Structure 1
Amino acid sequence: MTTHSKPLVALSADPTGGTLGLSLPAGSLVSETGDGPWREPLLWMADGAAMPGAWARCQPVGDAVGLRPVLLQDESGIGEWWGGGLDPGMVSDPGDHHAEDVLRDLWESAVSDAEEDQDEEDAAEAIAPFTRRWPGLASAGGAPADPDATAGDVADGLIGPWLESPRLALVPVGRSADLPAAIGWSGPVHYESDVARLCAVLRSWEDRFGARVVALSHARLDVSVAVPPQSPDEALAVAAEHFAFCPDNVLQGYESILLYAEQALLGNAHWTFWWD
């Protein structure tokens, strides 16, 4: 999956983005790192750390010209992962996958891994009240807040407390959910080698819950949610999807899907995922 973008070509000639209606800080283009002579530019990225408000300022104009904002976070000891870890040629198209099929496959794999790592009773407690059988998709939420306004608020809240010095990036992509695949992000590679399958799930969350991809780190994904679950039952149904999507969220942080639903999801407009 290779990204082609006239807006990025325009930014190479006009780094401030003035011709596109943008007013950007100093920055540069980042190209893909896979084998081959094409070396397509994948995104524009600011040279310095983002300040609160940066995501929201770029979103309206960026959407109009086909560029979507995202915060990219470097991590101590990792190095600038985007300098050698973006290869969309290794990724399929999110449209080739169906969210529920992906989640069913991942659920079965996650439950099997939990049973291998723990005794049968502990594994059963971790996924209770669910069983080994995939429970199905959670229902869509109610009337959403503005998804992009929510994303801007979540982005501002990430800068500092959660992400020490993220950089603002602009990616040519049709919808937020496809952003990880569009740049060939490999954060969950030890769990899922084709991030486009996870993007299919993100598309479903975008449709059902007003989700937006807000930030990417070496192995972390931050998502804003305009329609977070508002009842324990709603949170539990979403938690099952999160367990399939990223088991480490549950097993390394909350020990059970039930606790994760209660403590991490209920009314929370910010979902974060981290793969070990």
Structure 2
Amino acid sequence: MLFGKRRDRPHESPLQLPDIALDGGWWAFARARHERTGLWPLLLHGLSEREPDRPWLTGELHPGRSGGTPSDHDPEALLARWWAAGEPEPEEDEEGLLDIVAPFLNGWPGRADAGVPRADPDELGGAEFRSLLAADWIHGSRPGLVPAGRGADVPTVLGWAGPTNHDSDISRVSAVLRDWEDRFGTRLIGLGFDTMYLSVAAPPVERDHALRVAAEHFALAPDNITQGTGSLAEYAGDLMESTRWSFWWD
């Protein structure tokens, strides 16, 4: 029984936690049945080895908290606004952020063009789920099922608070995820306390395209770059032909 029984979880949460032993084929099995069940599958993991149940079993999910829906928002406008909020004026650039966001020193560069599909998004989602499940840094991994029409809407349905320090309205994040589903064939395959994992069927394969995609990632999750690679240029190199995108928020 790959859907199994439900484990206990806060009664107000729409999250279902099947009481099963996870295997690498579970996501593909559940995804193939999504149209019938309405349940989107994903791998959940905890905050740390000491706190593997956060936020799934600790009352830290708040459905309805956003007050809006993903369709309320224009993803291009959101990305431009987030970029502007994180871009310093040259005279105020004490931390060298302008070096980080080079070569885009004249403001928001605009959304990247759509990628060219290299795989079926759902087949790739299953493969990347298997890879994610095997990662030795995943703490308290468990399967989750969420009543959502598409993976992009899962964070909003859950009232997930991972990006709260960046933007407290999670429906805005879902709006961008919807856009990435359309342009890059992404599928949401995993969530942590403040981390998110997408499979990517149409990743950038050329440098200039990867830089534009990197700018979108900086707008959504600047910690990926400022506390990660340290520059858009290096980050873009990591994105080229990568079939999994990972995000985290401090």
Q: Given the two structures, how large is their TM-score scaled by the length of structure 1?
A: 0.83
Match of 1:13 in 2: none
Partners of 1:184 and 1:29 in 2: CA distance = 18
1:190 shift after superposition:
1.1
Amino acid across the alignment from 1:47: D
Within 5 A, what are the aligned runs for 1:237-252? Answer: 237-252=212-227
Match of 2:6 in 1: 27
- Stretch moving more, 63-72 or 145-154: 63-72
Match of 1:265 in 2: 239
Amino acid across the alignment from 2:6: G
Partners of 1:230 and 1:99 in 2: CA distance = 23
1:85-106 superposed Cα distances (whole Å, 9 cap, x missing partner): 1112211211100101110110
Match of 2:80 in 1: 104
Partners of 2:230 and 2:116 in 1: CA distance = 29
1:67 shift after superposition:
1.1
SS of corresponding position for 1:253 = helix
Amino acid across the alignment from 2:114: A
1:139-187 superposed Cα distances (whole Å, 9 cap, x missing partner): 0012342111111111110113242441111111111111110111001
Match of 2:24 in 1: 52
Match of 1:11 in 2: none
For the pair shown, which has the larger CA radius of gyration, 1 or 2?
Answer: 1
Partners of 1:99 and 1:247 in 2: CA distance = 16
Match of 1:12 in 2: none
- Stretch moving more, 147-156 or 60-69: 60-69
Within 5 A, what are the aligned runs for 1:210-249? Answer: 210-249=185-224
SS of corresponding position for 1:82 = coil
More helix per residue: 1
Contact 1:49 1:165 in 2 (8 A): no
1:134 is aligned to 2:113: no
Are the structure 2 counterparts of residues 194 and 115 from structure 1 closer, same or farther at C-alpha, using a change threshold of 3 Å? farther
Selected match of 1:143 from 117, 121, 131:
117
Instruction: Give the alignment's Cα RMSD to 1 decimal.
Output: 2.1
Partners of 1:166 and 1:147 in 2: CA distance = 23
Partners of 2:89 and 2:27 in 1: CA distance = 38
1:30 shift after superposition:
3.8
Give the fraction of aligned pairs with identical amino acids, expressed as a percent.
40
Partners of 1:261 and 1:53 in 2: CA distance = 31
Match of 1:19 in 2: none
Match of 1:42 in 2: 14
1:48 shift after superposition:
5.4
Contact 2:184 2:201 in 1 (8 A): yes
Are the structure 2 counterparts of residues 115 and 157 from structure 1 closer, same or farther at C-alpha, using a change threshold of 3 Å? farther
List structure 1 segments (4+ residues) > 6 angstroms apart after TM superposition: none
Are the structure 2 counterparts of residues 85 and 58 from structure 1 closer, same or farther at C-alpha, using a change threshold of 3 Å? same
Question: Which runs of no fewer than 5 residues in structure 1 stay unpaired?
Answer: 1-15, 17-22, 33-38
Amino acid across the alignment from 1:25: G
Match of 1:36 in 2: none
1:275 is aligned to 2:249: yes
SS of corresponding position for 1:214 = strand
Partners of 2:8 and 2:231 in 1: CA distance = 42
Amino acid across the alignment from 1:270: R
- The count of aligned residue pairs is 245
Partners of 1:50 and 1:98 in 2: CA distance = 37
- Stretch moving more, 226-235 or 75-84: 75-84
Amino acid across the alignment from 1:45: L
Partners of 1:169 and 1:54 in 2: CA distance = 11
1:180 is aligned to 2:152: no
